[in-house]
Amino acid sequence: MNASHDYDLECTGVSKNFGRLRAVDEVSFKIPSGSFFSILGPSGCGKTTLMRMIAGFEDPTAGDVKIKGTSVLNTPPNKRNVKMVFQHLALFPMMNVYENIAYGLRCNGAGKAEIEQKVKRVLERIALPDVGEREIHQLSGGQKQRIAIARCMVLDPDVLLLDEPLGALDLKLREAMKIELKLLQHQFNTTFVYITHDQSEALVMSDNVAVMNHGKFEQIGSPQQLYHNPASAFVAGFVGDANRWKGRVLEAAGGGIRVETAAGLGLVGTAGSGQSPQTGDTVEVFVRPEFIRTGKGGAAPAANHNHLEGVVDSLLFNGANSRVLVRTGSGELIEADVTLTGGADDVQPGETVILTWSPDQALCFAARADR
Amino acid sequence: MSQSDIKRLSLILLFMPFALWILLLIVLPHIGMGVLALREKVAPRVYEFGFGNFIEFLQEPIYWNTLLRTGSMSLLVTALALLAGFPIAYYIAKVAGWRTRGALFLLCLVPLWVSDLIRAFGWILLLRETGVVSSMLQTIGLLNAPVELLYNDVTVVIGLVYTVILFMIVPLVSTLDGMDDAMIEAGYNLGGNGWTVLRRIIIPYAMPGIVSGCIIVFMLTAGSYLTPILLGGKNSSWFTETIYEQFITRYNWESGAAFGFLLLAFTSFVVWLGLKLSRQTLAGTIARS
């Protein structure tokens, strides 16, 4: 492989206008070969439009889309070697499973023996070797999902696009399919571009995630980078859960930034990446629930840590992901992760607890005008 | 009266108009026609049970030729209505925005507000020797003498297509409407060109609509009377005309009734054949739309 093929998909300055609305705004990214790339964003952020441009169903207003180093702007959708798994899968109900998978091969003019062999092999790879003769409506949700992927993968695409394909599945199946998709991607070793609004899908499966908002990419990075070093307030708020406060900077000296929230809660935080808040600025502070320790007093907290006293308002029991809602003296509700063992040590509603967290875990971003 | 009795009574009352309609206007007349068709006139006012009327039909080539001609022309009309109706239906269901869609659909319905008769006279006004088309062609110098455009098969076929095309468009729009646009895009995405997508995806998907539209249109055409008579003239040789003649002109109700049954049997056979060939069922097509 030569250098120009290191990236299966490259977008440079891609924009799309619908009338006066700019759906996609100057998006640039490169996806290394064989990786799992997710585009994560709220609905209406332009991610579907971006994907439709890659597939060729929309023409970009500006910018270039390159697949394996070659621009595909003038290539019609049926000639691009980019296959797509649609949101509702779009399996052809009038054909059986075999015909669905064979359709693309037939379009490419493959011979009968070749089709038969390829379909058989792809069905084995998705671990559904015996469903060829079944009708689409006889398949379960997870099976349909895999057939939709097989239908694309049998054509050996350079890039596989997936448009929120798990949205229609129930929770349990969705969890299972996340893992399965990741395994399938490893197995086929093809670049997957996965579009979703569900951050857990993006974080679990991806090598790299792009967070998209209002047509722009806010940040591209590994799931860990996005989670621990968000580049903007939007990313900090959108990826993972966080307690979020708006406040004014009282003092911005050295490492720590002292902030007082609107309700009068004082805390110390660190500037988020690329941020340099000055005294008097309005900032947003993000603290993830898992970084807040809930204690019943006793051991003294580390000197420089934030610590607050509050009353447990309610327990949100969810097994290993249980949380408490703590109401502080200033009246704000803070979410914190707790371990509930079912023993006598567990916090109870109405109890007074002390919350502590390190200033490193409280990221401050300049507050933008509210949208 | 118990609750369940009231329920049953109201169900019966609701069902009554339909049952009466079927019984009095469809079943009874057909029984009467059947009895009529199966009796032979042996002398004035003397009748015998027998298949004489049907045998007469088979022995007289003009009769079964007319029936075959009606059948084949109806098939032609059906095919033309499908060819012309499919793009219209596709445009309404898939291309037009939802606002224009309603307006276009309404435009398709507008001709139905005018009676068949008036519309046929409209065609006459356009196509007769002194009509609009003929005189216009003379004015622009393409013709130097008036031309009679009525009373030929082409005009009859065009007129019939115009009358029945709506009944092709409606079921087509409703099936195409149910088709996810993503399916068409998937067809292209997987490497198909426009023709492949049409042939392998859109048409198979629309098959129930195509078949039910074809059945309705074929039945309407084969059983139509007004348009072939008015546009084709006295010699249009449409089978309904032959039936009319037996009943009214020749006052031979027996053979008229027999011909009526023959037309019914013939069209039913064609529909059955069409369903077999397209591998569709009546329940999956007409009953669904």
Written out in words, the top-level CATH class of the domain with range A241-366 is mainly beta
B193 — pLDDT class (breaks 50, 70, 90)? very high
Measure B274 CA to nearest chain A CA, in Å: 19
SS3 B264: helix
Phi then psi for residue B143, to 5 deg, are -125, 150
B192: nearest CA partner in chain A = A107
Number of H helices, E strands in chain A: 8, 20
The least confident of A138-142, A281-285, A341-345, B22-26 is A341-345
**Each residue of B64-107: pLDDT tens digit?**
999 999 999 999 999 999 999 999 999 999 998 888 988 998 88
DSSP letter assigned to residue B25: I
Residue numbers in B near A103 (CB within 8 A) = 187, 190, 192, 200
C-alpha A209/C-alpha B69 separation (Å) is 69
A245 C-beta neighbours (distance < 10 Å), count? 22
Question: Whose CA is closest to A13, among A52, A64, A73?
Answer: A64
The DSSP line for B195-211 is: HHIIIIIIHHHHHHHHH
Number of domains in chain B: 2
Would residue B48 count as lying in a domain? no
| Segment 199-228 of chain B within 8 Å of chain A by CB | 200-201, 204-205, 207
B193: nearest CA partner in chain A = A78
Would residue B66 count as lying in a domain? yes
Better-predicted residue by pLDDT, B41 or B60: B60
Residues 6+ apart with CB under 8 A from B265: none
**Each residue of A201-230: pLDDT tens digit?**
899 899 999 999 999 999 999 999 999 899
Residue numbers in B near A79 (CB within 8 A) = 191
Better-predicted residue by pLDDT, A270 or B202: B202
B71 and B163 fall within a common domain: yes
B206: nearest CA partner in chain A = A94
Under an 8 A CB cutoff, do B200 and A103 touch?
Answer: yes
B21 and B100 fall within a common domain: no
| Segment (H or E) for B157 | helix B153-177
Mutation target for A interface from B179, B188, B190: give the one with most A CBs within 10 A.
B190
C-alpha A353/C-alpha A345 separation (Å) is 12
Question: Whose CA is closest to A263, among A311, A332, A312, A326?
Answer: A332
B23 and B119 fall within a common domain: no
B33 and B61 fall within a common domain: no
Based on its alpha-carbon atoms, the radius of gyration of chain B, rounded to whole angstroms, reads 24
A110: nearest CA partner in chain B = B191
**Each residue of A90-132: pLDDT tens digit?**
999 999 999 999 999 999 999 999 999 999 999 998 888 899 9
Contact B71, B270 (CB under 8 A): yes
Mean pLDDT of B202-212: 93
Would residue B108 count as lying in a domain? yes
Per-residue confidence (pLDDT) for residue A371, from 0 to 100: 40
C-alpha B106/C-alpha B115 separation (Å) is 17
Can A3-234 and A241-366 be said to share one CATH topology? no
Complex prediction ipTM:
0.82
Residues 6+ apart with CB under 8 A from B106: none
Kindly state whether B189 is in contact with chain A, defined as any CB-CB distance less than 8 angstroms. yes
Six-digit token string for A250: 């009282």
Share of chain A above pLDDT 90, in %: 44
> By residue range, what is the domain housing residue B153?
53-278
Q: Which of A10-24, A303-317, B227-241 has the highest mean pLDDT?
A: A10-24
Mean pLDDT of B129-147: 88
C-alpha A147/C-alpha A135 separation (Å) is 11
Phi then psi for residue A23, to 5 deg, are -80, -40
Under an 8 A CB cutoff, do B189 and A77 touch?
Answer: yes
Q: What pairs with residue A261 in β-bridges?
A: A247
Contact B157, B70 (CB under 8 A): no
C-alpha B150/C-alpha B234 separation (Å) is 11
Share of chain A above pLDDT 70, in %: 95
Task: Evaluate if residue A301 carries a pLDDT over 70.
Answer: no
Six-digit token string for A237: 């708020």
Would residue B2 count as lying in a domain? yes
B14 and B107 fall within a common domain: no
Domain A3-234, what fold? Rossmann fold (3.40.50)
Q: Can you state the angle between helices B153-177 and B61-90, rounded to 10 degrees?
A: 40
Residue numbers in A near B198 (CB within 8 A) = none
C-alpha A154/C-alpha A286 separation (Å) is 45
Under an 8 A CB cutoff, do B193 and A78 touch?
Answer: yes
C-alpha A308/C-alpha A278 separation (Å) is 25
B107 and B190 fall within a common domain: yes
B206 and B68 fall within a common domain: yes
Residue numbers in B near A57 (CB within 8 A) = 185, 188
Would residue B46 count as lying in a domain? no
Mean pLDDT of A165-183: 86
Task: Evaluate if residue B13 carries a pLDDT over 80.
Answer: yes
Rounded to two decimals, the pTM is 0.82
B2 and B108 fall within a common domain: no
DSSP letter assigned to residue A189: T
Please give the distance of CA A338 from its chain centroid, rounded to a whole number: 25
The C-alpha torsion from A226 through A227 and A228 to A229, rounded to 10°, is: 30
Per-residue confidence (pLDDT) for residue A2, from 0 to 100: 47
Six-digit token string for A16: 């799309």
The C-alpha torsion from A40 through A42 and A47 to A48, rounded to 10°, is: 120
| CATH code, domain carrying B72 | 1.10.3720.10
Mutation target for A interface from B189, B198, B210: give the one with most A CBs within 10 A.
B189
C-alpha B254/C-alpha B47 separation (Å) is 10
Domain ranges of chain A: 3-234, 241-366
**Each residue of B220-256: pLDDT tens digit?**
999 999 999 999 887 788 999 999 999 999 888 889 9
Per-residue confidence (pLDDT) for residue A1, from 0 to 100: 42
Per-residue confidence (pLDDT) for residue A302, from 0 to 100: 66
Per-residue confidence (pLDDT) for residue A298, from 0 to 100: 62
Please report, for residues A97, A120, B43, B127, B253, the alpha-carbon distance to residue B139 in angstroms, rounded to integers and kept in the order given.
63, 70, 61, 15, 50
B187 and B57 fall within a common domain: yes
The DSSP line for A193-217 is: EEEES-HHHHHHH-SEEEEEETTEE
B192 and B249 fall within a common domain: yes
Between A and B, how many residue pairs show a Cβ–Cβ distance under 8 A? 62
